[in-house]
Chains A and B, each alone.
Chain A
Amino acid sequence: MSDLTAHATSRGRSATTTPDGAASPRGMSGTRGLTRRRSRTPITWVRRGGLSTLVFMLPLLIAFGFFSWWPILRSVMMSLQRTNFVGAAEWIGWTNFINVFNDPLLATAVWNTTQYTLVSVLIGFPVPILLAIFIGELRRSRPVASVLVYLPVIIPPVVAVLLWKQFYAPDANGLFNQVLGWFGAGPLGWINDVDLVIPAIIVQATWAGFGGTTIIYLAALRSVQTELYEAAEMDGAKIWRRFWHITLPQMRGVMLIMLLLQLIGVFQIFAEPYIMTGGGPANRSVSVLMLIYRYAFIQGDYGKATALSLLLALALCLLSALYLWATRRWSQT
């Protein structure tokens, strides 16, 4: 009987409706279901619409089966294998992981990625919050400000990176160096400078991304409960205290989510250093994802590349678990 009800609810939602769509008394549907359960043949499956359901499911099954589920499974296997495309893949245990950890570049890449993350949080996290709060106070100029804020997001990322590469031109005629020249400061090497390359890349990445985050914060500001402001005013709270005690606490949830999304993004930074510097100078801008790219598509060591991508994925998984926990928690408050 439990099988029956499960069947009825899974097809139709209401227990009095048979799979064929005809409304019928409960008892009748019961007998029909019983006879059907006895003869579960492919023909009855087709007649009940199983085939057409499968036709609808097919695009999803093909797309995910071939290009999502199978590659994920294969990754886990490949990280423990040596693939040379001549013979069958050979199981080699943890060797790929050991090779990854023995690569002196790994420490560089991890350290660089940590620095990317730190600089990005330092610059990229507060800017959109402040900007959204300022724009939120504007009245007549708000539409203009919103459009201007979002403009860099529209520019294709590769174009933005190439444009900034031009701005960072290290000679005295470079755009940024000319600006420095107005203040009497010397020409800087920017992306050719070992100490400046990571901040320079992050400034570009922040420029490309701050608009989207600002718009999300602006939308979040609208949902701040305005009665609280009024209540605080009654109690004599000045502008600064209203901001500190009402606006910020109510934005906490969105802020945490945006921070985690930003972290997940920076952990996988690739296009910016790849196009701007190719990882140089002296491997100072090599990120973890660039290392994976090098292992796989330059050295042709697919096992090693997969092992490192599994490790990176693990770190990202931890972050997204945190993200999920945060959204669950903050969406309730």
Chain B
Amino acid sequence: MTTTSTFRARRRADAAAFASERSILSVHDRKQPGVRVGLTLLSILVVGTLVLISAGPLLWLFKSAVSSTQDILREPFGLWPSGIQWGNLYDAWTRIEFGKYLGNTVWIAVGSWFFGLLVATTGGYALSVLRPRYGKVVSALVLATLFIPGVISLVSLYLTVLDVPLVGVNLLNTFWAVWLPSAANAFNVLIMRRMFDALPHELFEAAKIDGAGPFRIFAFLVLPMSTPIIGVVSLLTIVQAWKEFLWPLLVLPDADKQPLSVALPRLQETAETSLMMAGMFISVIIPVALFLLFQKQFLRGAGQAGALKG
């Protein structure tokens, strides 16, 4: 008796949840036997296809990372016909120095994150809170770069990095060549400014009366109040830096400075296939682990990215 009533209660709660978040199908539809069977089939079909298409290549990479070159090339579907080669991972790390390239990737991402955030927060603060006379001009110029595609300055940016005007330094083969251009991100500056605009400016006035200078207001009021957006911008810049290929390829010809994204295509010409697979496994494992740990944040961020773009 009690079991049936709790069962019914749960059914009712489920139904309420469905009703509050309905889609094309209504609660009534979902009770129809035909629709039910159809939905079950759809569920199996969608999840099955996704396992095959999305997870399949990744699982194959994991398998190949510990297979011999022969097995990878001859029998791509075989499950270790000549035994599991755990040594691949060790060899890839030591012989092809994947550790070094991974380190470069991390270092590039960290630097891009730091400089990107530095420019976006200080610039956003100056434009939104301090508002100098020339602020409007700067805002307009930053906004303009948002509509000018990056391709336009690919070559001239490269030449600028070879010989930075006024300073006369050559940044080629230094991480600065990646960090600094990536910091000039109009999207980040404008989104930061918009977020700072929404903060209660009366608070800053009050802090000013109490004798706080612009630096203290920035460090102890503005920054702590905007941690959520700083988090989103951080995630976006780090992912962006991790993915970058063409620009580091141009400005980091020295193999010792290259990130994984540049080193991998170069290495595949010479390295053994099994070691390549092991190296690719090493470069995939960190992002995938982060994603599986923070899937909710990632997915919410991806959905928000659409809202931000829109």
Residues of B within 8 A of A242 (CB): 24
Q: Is B57 an interface residue (CB 8 A)?
A: yes
Q: Is B33 an interface residue (CB 8 A)?
A: no
Least CB separation from A167: chain B residue: B57
Whether the pair A138, B155 counts as a contact (CB closer than 8 A) is no
Residues of A within 8 A of B149 (CB): 264, 268, 312-313, 316-317, 320
Knowing A137-B23, A167-B57, the reply to whether A60 touches B122 (Cβ < 8 A) is yes
Bound-complex Cα distance A174 to B73 (A): 7
Least CB separation from B207: chain A residue: A21
Residues of A within 8 A of B73 (CB): 169, 173
Q: Is A46 an interface residue (CB 8 A)?
A: no
Whether the pair B184, A63 counts as a contact (CB closer than 8 A) is yes
Q: Is B195 an interface residue (CB 8 A)?
A: no
Return the contact of B131 from the options A11, A131, A243, A268 (Cβ within 8 A).
A11
Bound-complex Cα distance A21 to B206 (A): 8
Q: Is B231 an interface residue (CB 8 A)?
A: no
Q: Is B220 an interface residue (CB 8 A)?
A: no
Q: Is A333 an interface residue (CB 8 A)?
A: no
Bound-complex Cα distance A294 to B3 (A): 73
Bound-complex Cα distance A225 to B125 (A): 38
Return the contact of A163 from the options B57, B118, B287 (Cβ within 8 A).
B57
Residues of B within 8 A of A205 (CB): none
- As a 0/1 sequence over residues 278 to 297 of chain B, the CB contacts with chain A under 8 angstroms (1 = contact) are 00100110011011100100
Whether the pair A56, B305 counts as a contact (CB closer than 8 A) is no
Residues of A within 8 A of B309 (CB): 257, 261, 327
Bound-complex Cα distance A304 to B132 (A): 41
Residues of B within 8 A of A78 (CB): 155-156, 159
Whether the pair B283, A159 counts as a contact (CB closer than 8 A) is yes
Whether the pair A216, B148 counts as a contact (CB closer than 8 A) is no
Choose the segment among B4-12, B84-92, B211-219 that binds chain A (4+ C-beta atoms closer than 8 Å): B211-219
Residues of A within 8 A of B23 (CB): 136-137, 221, 229
Whether the pair A137, B123 counts as a contact (CB closer than 8 A) is no
Q: Is B31 an interface residue (CB 8 A)?
A: no
- As a 0/1 sequence over residues 177 to 190 of chain B, the CB contacts with chain A under 8 angstroms (1 = contact) are 00011011010010
Whether the pair B302, A296 counts as a contact (CB closer than 8 A) is no
Bound-complex Cα distance A297 to B251 (A): 11
Q: Is A25 an interface residue (CB 8 A)?
A: no
Residues of A within 8 A of B288 (CB): 151, 154-155
Whether the pair A63, B307 counts as a contact (CB closer than 8 A) is no
Least CB separation from A151: chain B residue: B54
Bound-complex Cα distance A323 to B219 (A): 37
- Restricting to B65-94, which residues have a CB under 8 Å from any CB of A? 72-77
Whether the pair B303, A162 counts as a contact (CB closer than 8 A) is no
- As a 0/1 sequence over residues 45 to 74 of chain A, the CB contacts with chain B under 8 angstroms (1 = contact) are 000011011101111110110111111101
A19: shortest Cβ distance to chain B, in Å? 10
Whether the pair A49, B141 counts as a contact (CB closer than 8 A) is no
Q: Is A194 an interface residue (CB 8 A)?
A: no
Whether the pair B29, A144 counts as a contact (CB closer than 8 A) is no
Q: Is B229 an interface residue (CB 8 A)?
A: no
Residues of B within 8 A of A178 (CB): 76-77
Residues of A within 8 A of B290 (CB): 154
Determine chain A's interface SS by DSSP, over half rule.
Answer: helix
Number of A-B contacts (CB under 8 A): 312
B227: shortest Cβ distance to chain A, in Å? 19
Return the contact of A229 from the options B26, B42, B180 (Cβ within 8 A).
B26
Whether the pair A75, B155 counts as a contact (CB closer than 8 A) is yes
Residues of B within 8 A of A226 (CB): 22
Chain A interface residue count, CB cutoff 8 Å, equals 122
- As a 0/1 sequence over residues 246 to 265 of chain A, the CB contacts with chain B under 8 angstroms (1 = contact) are 11000001100100010010
Whether the pair B131, A144 counts as a contact (CB closer than 8 A) is no
Residues of A within 8 A of B1 (CB): none
Return the contact of A64 from the options B51, B159, B184, B295 (Cβ within 8 A).
B184
Q: Is B37 an interface residue (CB 8 A)?
A: no
Q: Is A285 an interface residue (CB 8 A)?
A: no
A201: shortest Cβ distance to chain B, in Å? 15
- As a 0/1 sequence over residues 71 to 101 of chain A, the CB contacts with chain B under 8 angstroms (1 = contact) are 1101100100001000000000000000000
Whether the pair B214, A57 counts as a contact (CB closer than 8 A) is no
Whether the pair B154, A309 counts as a contact (CB closer than 8 A) is yes
Q: Can you name 14 extra interface pairs (CB under 8 A) apart from A157-B261, A270-B245?
A: A57-B126, A57-B130, A59-B123, A71-B160, A145-B47, A147-B299, A150-B299, A154-B290, A155-B284, A158-B265, A239-B35, A254-B306, A292-B154, A306-B155
Binding site for B on A (CB under 8 A): 10-14, 17, 20-23, 49-50, 52-54, 56-61, 63-64, 66-72, 74-75, 78, 83, 131, 133-141, 144-167, 169, 173-175, 178, 207, 211-212, 215-216, 218-222, 226, 229-230, 233, 239, 242-243, 246-247, 253-254, 257, 261, 264, 268, 270-271, 274-275, 289, 292-293, 296-297, 302, 305-306, 309-310, 312-313, 316-317, 320-321, 324, 327, 330-331
9 A-B pairs with least C-beta separation: A60-B123, A216-B306, A21-B208, A219-B303, A71-B153, A313-B152, A148-B50, A56-B126, A316-B149
- Residue pairs across A and B with Cβ atoms less than 8 A apart, 9 shown, are A21-B209, A54-B132, A67-B183, A148-B54, A154-B288, A173-B73, A207-B57, A229-B24, A271-B245
Binding site for A on B (CB under 8 A): 18, 21-26, 28-29, 35, 39, 42-43, 46-47, 50-51, 53-55, 57-58, 60-61, 64, 72-77, 115, 118-119, 122-123, 125-127, 130-133, 135, 138, 141-142, 145, 147-149, 151-160, 164-165, 180-181, 183-184, 186, 189, 201, 205, 208-209, 213-215, 218, 242-243, 245-246, 250, 260-262, 264-265, 268, 273, 276-277, 280, 283-284, 287-288, 290-292, 295, 298-299, 302-307, 309-310
